[in-house]
Structure 1
Amino acid sequence: MTGTGSRTDAAPDNDTAVEPRLAHLSTATLSDALDRLGLPGGLHGLAPLGPGQRMVGRAFTVRYRPAGDPPGTVGDYLDDVPPGSVVVLDNQGRTDCTVWGDILTAVAHAKGVAGTVVDGVCRDVHRALGLGYPVYSRGRYMRTGKDRVEVAGTGDPVAVGGVQVRPGDLLVGDQDGVVVIPAAALDRVLGVAVEIHEREESTLAGALAGATIAEARAAHGYHELQRRGTR
């Protein structure tokens, strides 16, 4: 299954120290970098469950489909999720039944999972909020997904918010939402994002030092930062 942002580049074999390189970069800055590089990335319609959320990790993907007869299960995949990963659940954007609740939240938190992204809704939100466990979804709804949906596969490319997410891609979430960075494009995206971050900080410093906003933006090329093909 692919989304509107289909990609074919493979993940690199040796990509380490991911979180330190992303720690100070916002999803807004990363989104601008993805725009400049012509890559899809913003997972539209997904919002943080609670205030102060921050999440960085590699995607562990799970794909759902409507339950058959007899119905399959909503899955015991969490036992296979490595610590530091982000669980990415493609429930086709359904808001009538959940695929993430308190048991999964508690176990994921105990395992050191970085967070969960649901193209759909979650429930038992008190558990995630109480633990400070990051969840990004289309909302919350108490109705169970059991006997309504079933796991169709794990470790496959999935579509979330109209964007393809592959196993091993990087997910970054904050108060503005979630972006996905193709694993093979990480270094390119980081290079552009760091440049954008530094130029925005310089723009702000100039404006606070007395320049007009127009002057500060012109001095640092603010209006072209996200433009495709900009150097």
Structure 2
Amino acid sequence: MTPNEPTPSVADEVFEQLARVSTATLATQLYKRGIRQPFLVGLAPVGSNFDGFVGEAFTMRFIPSREDVDPLDDPYRTGNVLQWEAVESVGPRQVLVVDSRSDTSAASAGDMLLTRAMRRGAAGFVTDGALRDGTAIAGLGFPAYARAVTATTRPASFHVADLNAPIGCAGVAVYPGDILVGDRDGIIVVPRSLASEISEPSLKQEQLEEWLHQRVRSGASLWGTYPPSEQTLGEYARWRTEQQQDPTKGARA
């Protein structure tokens, strides 16, 4: 999708399917379609009270602060209120994504702003920089990802330059409306134009690999199992049929 193309709609079913698959599975599906590196390397969940999220990107871009524009005497009343506008505009199924240029010298946001975003129904908050109030944020159970935690306030280093413009986050291009999927491993960016195409194949891959993993745990060799041979795929197809007929049978190693 280019900036001049209409934004494709994404069905509820697509979000539901993407929520059931891992970032690793999505990376494989995107790689098959020529997207080489969509994972936000170096970002980690803040806290353990959530499993992940799926959301549409609402982007925010930082540039370095400058003393004549961002005076230290009253940094919150200089007119640079885009950060507040973002939090007060984000809605359900949207995730705030910050381009902090991978700079952790100050925070992208803190507990107060994330709490407000959560109350507005946001899906999560992602920055390639740092967050303040790490312990408080961890207690929210709200999906938040960052490179680090710091006590330094955002105006000490950053000026909010843009909202809902294309950004780079952890070296990955993110366009407004792209679909971000997070799990305990991290976050992956799914181009909006590909979300509907990969959601069902991703779920099928996830289900197949769960079965294959059970076989490997039971002692099966990688040869013929991963990647699966035609014989293994045939066994899996028969197992799926049996499961549909009698779900109580359980997995066969």
TM-score range with shorter-chain normalisation? 0.7 to 0.9
What TM-score do the two structures reach when normalised by structure 1? Answer: 0.85
More helix by share: 2
Partner residue of 1:90?
99
User: Which residues of structure 1 form unaligned runs of 5+?
Assistant: 1-6, 222-231
Instruction: Tell me the residue number matched to 2:2.
Output: 8
Query: How far, CA to CA, are the matches of 1:50 and 1:220 in structure 2?
Result: 40
Q: Distance in 2 between matches of 1:183 and 1:101?
A: 28
CA RMSD of aligned residues (A): 2.1
How much does 1:218 deviate? 4.7
Question: What are the Cα deviations for residues 74-107 of structure 1, in whole angstroms up to 9, with x where unaligned?
Answer: 6212111112210001111111111210111110
CA deviations over 1:177-197 (Å, ceiling 9, x no partner):
000100011122224423422
- Bigger share in strand: 1
Q: Distance in 2 between matches of 1:189 and 1:65?
A: 34
Greater Rg, structure 1 or structure 2? 2
Partner-residue secondary structure (3-state), 2:101: strand
C-alpha change, 1:64 and 1:193, in structure 2 (3 Å) is same
Q: Could you tell me whether the CA contact under 8 Å between 1:106 and 1:127 is conserved in 2?
A: no
SS class of match (1:65)? strand
Indicate how the Cα distance of structure 1 residues 53 and 128 shifts in structure 2: closer, same or farther if over 3 A, else same. farther
Q: Say whether 1:130 aligns with 2:126.
A: no
Given the two structures, how large is their TM-score scaled by the length of structure 2?
0.78
Partner of 2:46: 49
Point out which structure has higher relative CO (alpha carbons under 8 A, 6+ apart): 1
Q: Work out which of the residue numbers 6, 18, 23 in structure 2 matches 1:22.
A: 18
Structure 1 contact 60–86 (Cα < 8 Å) conserved: yes
Residue by residue over 1:30-64, the C-alpha shift from the partner in whole angstroms, topping out at 9 and shown as x without a partner, is 11111221113101111111224311100000001
Q: CA deviation at 1:217?
A: 1.9
**Higher mean C-alpha displacement, 125-134 vs 89-98:** 125-134
> Shift of residue 200 of structure 1?
1.2
Which position in structure 1 is the counterpart of 2:28?
32
* Selected match of 1:63 from 48, 61, 64: 61
State the Cα distance separating 1:202 from its structure 2 match.
3.3
Query: 2:185 maps to which residue?
Result: 176
C-alpha separation between the residues in 2 aligned to 1:105 and 1:117?
10
Extract structure 1 runs of 4+ deviating beyond 3 A. 9-13, 205-211, 218-221
Q: 1:157 to 1:220 in 2, by over 3 A?
A: farther
* Unaligned 5+ runs, structure 2: 71-77, 231-253
Judge conservation of contact 1:203–1:220 (CA < 8 Å) in 2.
Answer: no
The equivalent of 2:202 in structure 1 is: 193
Contact 1:11 1:168 survives alignment (8 Å): no
**When the two structures are aligned, how many residues end up with a matched partner?**
215
